Amino acid sequence: MDTAPLRDAYRAQLNAQADALCGLGGPMLSETELDTPVPALLLSNGKVLVDQPVPLRDIVTGLAEAELPGHTRQLLALLPKDSAH
């Protein structure tokens, strides 16, 4: 099975998320803005995990710590078994 199209889609999504997170964490937002609580609704498999205001910094950090590594693992799993990482 050729996984290259799926791998390319994951790679594009990972790059877009990384670019967005880097932009938010850099000089674009001040410390005060990053500490501002924003409404958050986090669902996982239909289950509510968070439904309350969360500092923007925590959302950005959570995405960087959970989503990016998770998508990276998905990409690595799509590599041919005989390729070097």
Residues 6+ apart with CB under 8 A from 80: 3
Q: What is the residue-level pLDDT of the chain in tens, covering all 85 positions?
A: 677 788 888 788 878 877 777 776 666 788 898 899 999 998 888 999 899 999 988 988 887 787 778 878 888 888 777 755 5
pTM of the model: 0.57
Could you give the 3-state DSSP secondary structure of residue 55?
strand
